[in-house]
Amino acid sequence: MHGAGDLRVEERPDPVARPGEVLVAMEWGGVCGSDVAYWKNGASGTAVLRDPLILGHEVAGRVVASGPGVHGWDPGLRVTVHPAQAATGSVLPPRLTGRTNLHTRVRYFGSAAFHPHTDGGFSELRAVPADQLRQLPDGVSTEQGALAEPLAVAMHAVSRAGEVRGRDVVVNGAGPIGCLVVAAAKFRGAASVTAADVSDASLAVAKELGADQILNVGGGDRLPDDCELVFEASGAPAALGGVLRATARGGTLVQVGNLPGSAAPAVLGDLVTREITWIGAYRFVEEISDALDALRDGLDVSGVITHRFDIGQAAEALATAAGPESSKVMIRLSGG
């Protein structure tokens, strides 16, 4: 990305694994909403492009070579990437020990939050710090491995809710993350999952990933009443009033959809009068390993993929991901 609307597929010199790094031949990458934001706006939230940036943090591929001092990553191993790395000097207070997603300064694959920017993995080759690699289990393809990062986001959200086994769950918003929350909740033993959205296409994907009931709230359906456990995955402030109203008195609402960083009107009165517990869920800690274990154990989330493109079609892939009829758009980066 060189700027808003200025996406180029370029030839660059092959990277070399430096000490502590592993050279990976990337095979698959998933397009995230932040990638689309850079493409549309030249920015994602407060992160603004100042220099060209290679996008992509949902990636997987095969090891090519290891840099000096790195052992155990044999050529050919299939791997995915934990895209977050705490910036130098960022220290968590004792009360947040282990919650590494809450570092105040984090370098993330494919992010312009820092300058120099942190290039992502939408490339044929990428040198990756060894401690950010995760080996794919037997039977998990690199295409599936590229879904581990967004599945980890969903699994972290489900973990934030506590025990879901045997509970009835509502997921508002059936974009890729919402659909993966559906799959994660079912995998963790939810008794039933109801998915709500304004798009029939998105709801069809939610059904594919295990939703027991789907509701088109833009077409006349309404959220059920007295829902004990609700996941808000749309990130739309206008939806918050209805979602809070649907949450049972004393119930729990997990906010996994990114809300705007600027002021936005929302009806929040029920948060107090119904004593709702409203919990934020941000990225993930080590749930990427949980996601890989779930994929190994048979969780099939391939239904979230609606489109596949080759790397030379990257602009078309981004445009498709920005459209209303897509869920997860994948880019074949090489091989695989």
**Residue 28 predicted with pLDDT over 60:** yes
pLDDT at 230: 98
User: How is the chain split into domains, by residue range?
Assistant: 21-147+301-332, 151-280
pLDDT in tens, 79-127: 999 999 999 999 999 999 999 999 999 999 999 999 999 999 999 999 9
> What is the reported pTM?
0.96
pLDDT at 262: 86
Per cent of the chain over pLDDT 70 is: 99
Q: What is the mean pLDDT of residues 190-200?
A: 98
**Residue 292 predicted with pLDDT over 80:** yes
Helix (H) or strand (E) holding 58: strand 58-66
CB neighbour list of residue 203: distance below 8 Å, 6 or more residues apart: 174, 195, 196, 197, 211, 214, 215, 216
**Residue 335 predicted with pLDDT over 90:** no
Q: How confident is the model at residue 261 (pLDDT cuts 50, 70, 90)?
A: confident
pLDDT at 51: 97
Average of per-residue pLDDT values in the chain = 97
Residue 298 falls in which region: left (phi positive, over 0), alpha (psi -120 to 50) or beta: left
* Of 228, 251, 254, the residue nearest 240 (C-alpha): 254
**DSSP states of 98-159:** T-GGG-SSEEETTB-SSSS-B--S-SSEEEEEGGGEEEPPTT--HHHHTTHHHHHHHHHHHH
> First and final CA of the chain: distance in angstroms?
24
Q: Looking at the domain 151-280, which fold is it?
A: Rossmann fold (3.40.50)
Q: What is the mean pLDDT of residues 174-188?
A: 98
Per cent of the chain over pLDDT 90 is: 97
Name the class of domain 21-147+301-332: alpha beta
pLDDT at 260: 87
pLDDT in tens, 120-151: 999 999 999 999 999 999 999 999 999 999 99
**Residue 233 predicted with pLDDT over 90:** yes
pLDDT at 336: 52
**What's the burial of 186, exposed, middle or buried (CB within 10 Å: 0-12/13-18/19+)?**
buried
Q: How far is CA 115 from CA 20, 34, 44, 80, 282, in A?
A: 22, 17, 14, 25, 23
**Residue 253 predicted with pLDDT over 70:** yes
Q: What is the mean pLDDT of residues 305-313?
A: 97
